[in-house]
Amino acid sequence: MIRAGIIGGAGYTAGELIRLLLNHPEVELKWVHSTSNAGNPLTAVHGGLEGECDLEFASEYDLQVVDVVFLCSAHGQSSVWLSENTLPEGVKVIDLAQDFRDEHDGFVYGLAEWQREKVATANRIANPGCFATAIQLALLPLAAAHKLEDEVHITAITGSTGAGVKPSATTHFSWRASNLSVYKSFTHQHLNEIGRNINLLQPSFNEEINFVPMRGDFTRGIFASVYTTSSLTEEEAVALYRNYYAPAEFTHYTDRAIDLKQVVNTNKALVHVAKYGSKLHITTAIDNLLKGASGQAVENMNRIFGLDPTTGLKLKASAF
């Protein structure tokens, strides 16, 4: 059994991770640390675990009794935690914050559709961002084939869980319900990792990647609409995407237009392409808390420990 611990256990991402690990056939969840909830049962915060778990949030933790640590604290806290703790030899780290997505300090960027071999041999994984996952899945086949030819235009909409568990002026129910809005146009923080990785795949690409994020009036999921000028025919683009994702366990190319509900509550990503004149249009859909966060973290854990990547992640879409 893989023995796991979680640092920062109170947020939505941690809640999903706890659920996945408790139901994983090859994992024993040893402890979940939370400074603000120490001593409280996990079910007091994550009500969906009622009847399934009797663990309490820990105020202290023993790194000697785990094989992998998941870091689920706020952005910026992972690097602080690592500087303050000495990891026993062999203990793996999977960071779900953005602290190490530039791959410094020995971290490997954990997008397996791009670098599965590196993920499988890594000791430290920087889990990709949710928007970054959806958008990179739209661009990876083009960049890997050096077929990005012009600037890229992206509009992507995310559910309210992407904003975290603490309510704010733009996340509480009465504002978010029956409403749409734009935020961080052209400046979203995930552009850093997207631009870095696309340039690693296609160093000659120096065009703009334009990203307009939107807040949706739903709780889970990301739907990305991406277009760029391309000399590829639709048939060539379809073949490129179908072949690129043929080995992928969770990302699937489909000839049919995609819907968000096809992926919500799963670790799947769906990708579809179509050509309109000179414009290649790519759409992708993921669950922001699963393929965009905790599900992808468990997928990476599976790869590191030599398991089938789908272990514990054969989840059913909500569908209706």
pLDDT band of residue 14 (cuts 50, 70, 90) is very high
The pLDDT value recorded for residue 133 is 98
If phi > 0 it is left, if psi is from -120 to 50 it is alpha, else beta; for residue 306 that is: left
102: domain CATH number? 3.40.50.720
* Rounded mean pLDDT, 39-53: 93
The pLDDT value recorded for residue 92 is 98
The pLDDT value recorded for residue 167 is 79
Q: Is it the case that residue 294 has pLDDT exceeding 90?
A: yes
* Rounded mean pLDDT, 255-269: 97
Within a domain: residue 311?
no
State pLDDT tens for residues 209-234: 999 999 999 999 999 999 999 999 99
For the chain, the average pLDDT equals 96
Q: Is it the case that residue 152 has pLDDT exceeding 90?
A: yes
C-alpha–C-alpha distance, residues 262 and 266, integer Å: 9
State pLDDT tens for residues 65-78: 999 999 999 999 99
Could you tell me if 30 and 177 lie in one domain?
A: no
Could you tell me if 150 and 242 lie in one domain?
A: yes
* Rounded mean pLDDT, 20-49: 95
Q: Is it the case that residue 171 has pLDDT exceeding 80?
A: yes
Q: Quote the number of domains for the chain.
A: 2
Question: What range does the domain containing 175 cover?
Answer: 130-286
pLDDT band of residue 163 (cuts 50, 70, 90) is confident
Could you tell me if 64 and 164 lie in one domain?
A: no
Q: Is it the case that residue 319 has pLDDT exceeding 80?
A: no
Could you tell me if 136 and 280 lie in one domain?
A: yes
Catalytic residue among 6, 20, 42, 130: 130
Could you tell me if 38 and 95 lie in one domain?
A: yes
203: domain CATH number? 3.30.360.10
Q: 215, 181 in Cβ contact below 8 A?
A: yes
Sign of the Cα torsion 233, 245, 228, 270 reads positive
Is 72 one of the annotated active-site residues of the chain? no
Could you tell me if 121 and 178 lie in one domain?
A: no
Could you tell me if 50 and 98 lie in one domain?
A: yes
What separation in angstroms does the CA of 320 have from each of 62, 159, 247?
A: 43, 17, 29
Could you tell me if 122 and 168 lie in one domain?
A: no
Could you tell me if 270 and 155 lie in one domain?
A: yes
Q: Is it the case that residue 17 has pLDDT exceeding 90?
A: yes
